[in-house]
Amino acid sequence: MTDTCTHLDTIVVDGANSEGCEDCLRIGGRWVHLRRCTECGHIGCCDSSPNRHATAHFNATAHPIVQSFEPGEEWLWCFVDQLGFELADKPPSPAHP
């Protein structure tokens, strides 16, 4: 584990592709909390959700960073570096309604 994320250069997406977990919506599943991939905008469910689609998306694509897609939460998580963090001087991220 590192003290800094070494994948900040992969953050390219400010928007989102869905208002809910894309994979759960497709299969009729449910989620607890949502995470947004900062590389492609995929919205997946957290590891407390039954299907853990955000982690599955990382495993399938190797896109390293997700950001909370919950209102009022600004944290990010790097799967590769196993590190949670926030970015200073960044406008608020999108969140689901």
Widest pairwise Cα distance in the chain? 38
3 close to 82: Cβ distance less than 8 angstroms: no
Per-residue pLDDT tens digits for 29-78: 999 999 999 999 999 999 999 999 999 999 999 999 999 999 999 999 99
Residue 10: CB atoms within 10 Å? 18
- The pTM of this model reads 0.88
Task: Name the CATH superfamily housing domain 8-85.
Answer: Zinc/RING finger domain, C3HC4 (zinc finger) (3.30.40.10)
Please report, for the chain, the start and end positions of each structural domain, with discontinuous segments joined by +: 8-85
